[in-house]
Amino acid sequence: MPFFRIMNKKNLLVKIVLAAFVILLLLSLIAPAVFPQRADIRPPRQETLLNGLKVIMLSNPRSDKVELKLRINSGSAFDPQGKEGVMKLLSDAIFPNPEAKNAFAEDLGGSLSVDTTYDYIEISATAKPEQFLTMLDTVANAVSNINVDKDSTAKLKTAQLARVQELERDPAYVADQAVAKRLFGTFPYGRPVDGTADSIAKVTFADLIDAKLRFLTSDNATLAISGNFDSDLAYRGARRLFGGWIKADKKTPSTFRQPDAPDVTLQSVTVDGGGDKELRYAVRGVARKDASYAAAEVLADIMRARIAAKNETGATVKVESDAHVLPGYFVISLSGRSVTPITNDPSQAISQILSTKITDAEFQAARSAVETRWRETDAMDLWLDVDTFKTAEPKNSGFTVTLPDIQTLADKIGKLPVASVIVERMAQTNSVPK
């Protein structure tokens, strides 16, 4: 082979190698702009106590407080049918007296809250660094020694009934619950977390005790601590204070019969008084652990932007991908005095919104908005989600979702049956769906 041919091939190989190096270098420079990094998402210290309680510690010496989140990895999805509100009442029993919140604020220089969702019960507390162990002791004592009897249950039910009656006067709440029931039926996500007047009345203290023994156990919980604290001291404190918390005999899996397809006709509901209309459209969505979860978040933003662009009534537009342990739903919310249906055929509402292909401009704008929200998400929540939803451990590189991912999901949900509800305020009526 002539010498100049050998040299040409060598030069070509060198050029290819150099070109590949330049491309990789450019990608390394571009990637942080596309997928912004988060310095706070770093591997925490993780320990597991003998009773099965998992402890996650994220120390930050520059913080002026210590934050604690204790998550019970079972929520109101496990409420017995017809007795919705059991898990909410159980969560209220952890700190039954309002004085507890005042004590956290006045004595510990922090705060206290207890939240219940379909997927978990979560205690959130903060304190000054010097009051860290007191906070840990207070929370450990509360979950280990819940008082459930006839008298305490009656008080909890009375307070919860008052809250539910107040919620049911809100047309937005009525619409949200009605469309969830329309879409899911008796499936857990179609039943209200807070319960109803009828379901709360049926709950007994024995129901709360049963839920406590089955779900409020050490091996069904994750403790996350972040802020200005010493992790060795925190681990010793957790072992001493939470070590006596009883574990369950067995775990209850999240397995439920899948709901039937919904009725696709528009349901009309009226509530007392005057004011805004509430319109809802909903289709089945994804689970929190699904590979398409990030795509669902971006697609929801794209749908909201499309609806808002054609909104001529001044209605407030909101679109959410409500993901849970099991597949949740996409829900479109329109609120305002002059709300009108997206289309005369409600069964075609979603497909009409997604009838045109998603553009790169839409994708980039929505992805940017989703990444902004992701950067604002508490790192503790992302780590807690690993146990609750069985997700992968969080990374600091953001979402790696693509336009084809979004379009594939859009094509899928555009073919699903749509549940729809419109709620209007009318004088002298009381027809809230039971």
Boundary residue ending a domain (242, 277, 304): 242
Task: Identify whether 31 is part of a domain.
Answer: no
Residues 312 and 380 in one domain: yes
Q: How many Å apart are CA 353 and CA 413, to the nearest integer?
A: 11
Interacting residues of 390 by C-beta distance below 8 A, sequence separation 6+: 289, 325
Residues 232 and 333 in one domain: no
**Percent share of the chain, pLDDT over 90:** 77
Residues 115 and 204 in one domain: yes
Task: Identify whether 399 is part of a domain.
Answer: yes
Residue 261's Cβ-count burial label (10 Å; 0-12, 13-18, 19+) is exposed
Q: How many Å apart are CA 176 and CA 157, to the nearest integer?
A: 23
Q: Quickly list DSSP for 250-290.
A: S------PPPPPPP-SEEEEEEES---EEEEEEEE--BTTS
pLDDT at residue 39, as a whole number: 63
Residues 366 and 398 in one domain: yes
Residues 286 and 338 in one domain: yes
Task: Identify whether 129 is part of a domain.
Answer: yes
pLDDT at residue 3, as a whole number: 31
Residues 53 and 180 in one domain: yes
- DSSP character at residue 44: P
The amino acid at residue 116 is: T
Task: Identify whether 28 is part of a domain.
Answer: no
Provide the number of structural domains found in the chain.
2
Asked if residues 133 and 339 have their Cβ atoms less than 8 Å apart, the reply is no
Residues 216 and 275 in one domain: no
Q: Using only C-alpha atoms, what is the Rg of the chain?
A: 26
Residues 358 and 270 in one domain: yes
Domain that holds residue 296: 266-426
Q: How many Å apart are CA 112 and CA 106, to the nearest integer?
A: 11
Asked if residues 362 and 302 have their Cβ atoms less than 8 Å apart, the reply is yes
Task: Identify whether 65 is part of a domain.
Answer: yes
Residues 394 and 352 in one domain: yes
Boundary residue ending a domain (242, 276, 296): 242
Flag whether pLDDT at 317 surpasses 90: yes
Residues 55 and 128 in one domain: yes
Query: Mind listing the pLDDT tens digit for each residue in 91-104?
Result: 999 999 888 888 99
Asked if residues 142 and 410 have their Cβ atoms less than 8 Å apart, the reply is no
| Residues 158-172, mean pLDDT to the nearest whole number | 95
Flag whether pLDDT at 282 surpasses 60: yes
The CA-to-CA distance between both ends of the chain, in Å, stands at 88
pLDDT at residue 100, as a whole number: 86
Residues 274 and 200 in one domain: no
pLDDT band at residue 274 using 50, 70 and 90 as cut-offs: low
Q: Find where tokens 């549940």 sit.
A: 419
C-alpha of 14 from chain center:
52
pLDDT band at residue 249 using 50, 70 and 90 as cut-offs: confident
Flag whether pLDDT at 399 surpasses 80: no
Average pLDDT along the chain:
88
C-alpha of 65 from chain center:
25
pLDDT at residue 237, as a whole number: 97
pLDDT at residue 252, as a whole number: 72
Residues 238 and 270 in one domain: no
Residue 208: phi and psi, rounded to 5, are -70, -40
Task: Identify whether 57 is part of a domain.
Answer: yes
Flag whether pLDDT at 29 surpasses 50: no
pLDDT at residue 304, as a whole number: 97
Q: How many Å apart are CA 321 and CA 171, to the nearest integer?
A: 21
Q: How many Å apart are CA 103 and CA 246, to the nearest integer?
A: 26
Packed helices 403-413 and 360-376: angle between N→C axes, nearest 10 degrees: 100
Beta pairing, strands 277-284 & 316-322: unpaired
pTM score of the predicted model: 0.87
pLDDT at residue 20, as a whole number: 45
Q: Which two tokens stand for residue 239?
A: 């072992």
Q: What is the CATH number of the domain that holds 160?
A: 3.30.830.10
Task: Identify whether 16 is part of a domain.
Answer: no
Q: How many Å apart are CA 309 and CA 149, to the nearest integer?
A: 55
pLDDT band at residue 230 using 50, 70 and 90 as cut-offs: very high
Flag whether pLDDT at 397 surpasses 80: no
Task: Identify whether 109 is part of a domain.
Answer: yes
- DSSP character at residue 116: E
pLDDT at residue 98, as a whole number: 84
